[in-house]
C-alpha cells in the first residue's frame, strides 16, 4: 500500500465538545466499519441522502432515509467476502464550507475465502448540519472491488448491457470554463485559475498544454485504474510521456458539465467534481466521463493531481461495437 501523498491534516483523536463535525462523523463511520456495526447510524439525519455516483448498473446510485441506509449497510456487510481490517486515511480536506469535509481513504483487509490481502481506494464527501449527517457522496473503485471479489465478469456483463441500451444523459448544460480566477487570486496562480487552464487544454485535446501545467516535479496519481493505467507518474516529463502515448488515442474531450469546485482551508488545494462529454473514437459512441480531482497547485503549477475517474463508460465503449 502506497504512503499518503497529501498530508494536509490528521485524523481526529478526540471528540469535540461542540457537537458533530464532518471530521468526527467520518471517524465514527470509520470505527463502525472496523467493528462491523452500524453504530454511526445515530449520527445520520432521518432523511439523510447518500449517493454513489460511480456505482455500476444494478447497484443503487442514490438512497434517502436513515432506516433504508442502515438496512442496506447491514445486508452489504453481511454479504461482503472480505474482512475489513484497516481503514487508512490518505487525506482529510476541510472545505471552506464548514458543513463539508472531503476524505480520501482506503478499505483494506483479507478475503475470507482465500486469505488474500486486498485494498481499494474511496473518496467521500460528508455534509453535517445541526449535528447530523445530511448528505454523503461516496466514490468507490468498483472495478478493483469486482476484481478482488471474483465478480469482474458479472461487472463486465452488466456494463455491456447498459452501454448497449443507454446513451449518455444530455440534459445538463455544458460548463466549459466556469471556474476562472477570482478576485482573491488576481495573479491567476491559484488552483481555481490553474484548473480553468487545465480545462482549456483538455477541451483543446492538447497533450503538451496539459503537461506544461505541471511543476517539473509534479505528480499525477490514478487511484482508480484499468489494466495499463499507472498508479503514479512522477515529474512533468513522465506526465508528458504518458499523455503523448494515451491522451486523444481513444477519447476526444468535448464539453465540461456539472462542475463543482470545493475550496478547502488549504489555499493550495481544491477538490473538483465534474463530468466531460466525449466521443469514443474507435466506435464513434458518445460518452460521459466523470471525475473527481484533488488538485494541489503551488506558484501557478500543479504539484499533485489525484485523478479519481469513473472507468465504466470506457469499459462499456470497449465492449459495444458501433
Task: Give the separation between CA 79 and CA 190, rounded to whole angstroms.
Answer: 45
User: How many Cβ atoms from other residues are within 10 Å of residue 75's Cβ?
Assistant: 10
Name the residue with higher pLDDT: 190 or 5: 190
pLDDT in tens, 172-185: 555 544 344 455 67
pLDDT number for residue 16? 45
Say yes or no to pLDDT of 3 above 50: no
C-alpha distances out from residue 79 to 32, 112, 155, Å = 16, 11, 17
For residues 29-55, average pLDDT: 95
Does 191-319 match 22-165 at the fold level?
Answer: yes
pLDDT in tens, 81-137: 999 999 999 999 999 999 999 999 999 999 999 999 999 999 999 999 999 999 999
Average pLDDT, the chain: 88
C-alpha distances out from residue 191 to 10, 94, 303, Å = 22, 16, 10
Cell of 180: 476562472
For 152, the 3-state DSSP assignment is: helix
Domain 22-165 - what CATH class? alpha beta
pLDDT in tens, 187-204: 788 999 999 999 999 999
Least confident residue range of 11-20, 109-118, 135-144, 296-305: 11-20
Where along the chain do its domains lie?
22-165, 191-319
pLDDT number for residue 165? 74
Cell of 70: 442502515
For residues 4-15, average pLDDT: 45
Cell of 60: 443503487
Q: Which residue shows C-alpha cell 469482474?
A: 152
**Helices marked H in 116-273 — which ranges?**
142-148, 152-165, 191-203, 207-212, 236-246
pTM of the model: 0.89
Say yes or no to pLDDT of 286 above 80: yes
Q: From 206, 196, 191, select the one nearest 176 (Cα to Cα).
A: 196
- Relative to beta strand 44-51, strand 62-64 is antiparallel
Q: Which residue shows C-alpha cell 458539465?
A: 257
Q: From 262, 259, 268, select the one nearest 178 (Cα to Cα).
A: 259
pLDDT number for residue 179? 41
pLDDT number for residue 87? 96
pLDDT in tens, 194-238: 999 999 999 999 999 999 999 999 999 999 998 889 999 999 999
Q: Under CATH, which number does the domain 191-319 receive?
A: 3.10.450.50
For residues 257-266, average pLDDT: 97
pLDDT number for residue 249? 78
pLDDT-derived band at 4 (thresholds 50, 70, 90) equals very low
Q: Where are the beta strands (DSSP E) in the chain?
A: 44-51, 62-64, 82-86, 89-94, 100-111, 117-129, 132-140, 214-221, 232-234, 251-263, 269-280, 285-298, 301-309
Q: Which residue shows C-alpha cell 471479489?
A: 149
pLDDT number for residue 277? 96
pLDDT number for residue 176? 43
The sign one gets for the Cα dihedral 297, 301, 305, 311 is positive
Q: To 5 degrees, how large is the angle CA 195–CA 238–CA 256?
A: 25
- Relative to beta strand 301-309, strand 285-298 is antiparallel
Residues above pLDDT 90, as percent of the chain:
69
For 292, the 3-state DSSP assignment is: strand
Amino acid at each position: 500500500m502506497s504512503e499518503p501523498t497529501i498530508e494536509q491534516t490528521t485524523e481526529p483523536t478526540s471528540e469535540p465538545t461542540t457537537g458533530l463535525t464532518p471530521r468526527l462523523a467520518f471517524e465514527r463511520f470509520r470505527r463502525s466499519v472496523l467493528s462491523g456495526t452500524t453504530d454511526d447510524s445515530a449520527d445520520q439525519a432521518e432523511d439523510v441522502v447518500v449517493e454513489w455516483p460511480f456505482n455500476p448498473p444494478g447497484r443503487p446510485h442514490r438512497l434517502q432515509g436513515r432506516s433504508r441506509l442502515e438496512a442496506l449497510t447491514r445486508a452489504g456487510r453481511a454479504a461482503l467476502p472480505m474482512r475489513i481490517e484497516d481503514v487508512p486515511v490518505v487525506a482529510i480536506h476541510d472545505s471552506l464550507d464548514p458543513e463539508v469535509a472531503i476524505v480520501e481513504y482506503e478499505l483494506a483487509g483479507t478475503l475470507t475465502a482465500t486469505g488474500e490481502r486486498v485494498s481499494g481506494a474511496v473518496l467521500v464527501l460528508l455534509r453535517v448540519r445541526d449535528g447530523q449527517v445530511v448528505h454523503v457522496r461516496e466514490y468507490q473503485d468498483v472495478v478493483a472491488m469486482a476484481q478482488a471479489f471474483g465478480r469482474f465478469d458479472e461487472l463486465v456483463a452488466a456494463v455491456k448491457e447498459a452501454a448497449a441500451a443507454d446513451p449518455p444523459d444530455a440534459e445538463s448544460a455544458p460548463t466549459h470554463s466556469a471556474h476562472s480566477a477570482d478576485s482573491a487570486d488576481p495573479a491567476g496562480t491559484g488552483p481555481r485559475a490553474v484548473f480553468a487552464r487545465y480545462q482549456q487544454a483538455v477541451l483543446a485535446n492538447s497533450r503538451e498544454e496539459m503537461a506544461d501545467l505541471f511543476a517539473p516535479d509534479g505528480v499525477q496519481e490514478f487511484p482508480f485504474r484499468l489494466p495499463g493505467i499507472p498508479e503514479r507518474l512522477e515529474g512533468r516529463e513522465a506526465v508528458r510521456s504518458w499523455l503523448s502515448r494515451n491522451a486523444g488515442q481513444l477519447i476526444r474531450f468535448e464539453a465540461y458539465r456539472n462542475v463543482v469546485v470545493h475550496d478547502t482551508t488549504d489555499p493550495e488545494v481544491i477538490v473538483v467534481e465534474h463530468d466531460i462529454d466525449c466521443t469514443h473514437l474507435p466506435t464513434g459512441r458518445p460518452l460521459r466521463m466523470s471525475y473527481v480531482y484533488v488538485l494541489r497547485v503551488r506558484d501557478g503549477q500543479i504539484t499533485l493531481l489525484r485523478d479519481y475517474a469513473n472507468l465504466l463508460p470506457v469499459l462499456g465503449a470497449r465492449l459495444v461495437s458501433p
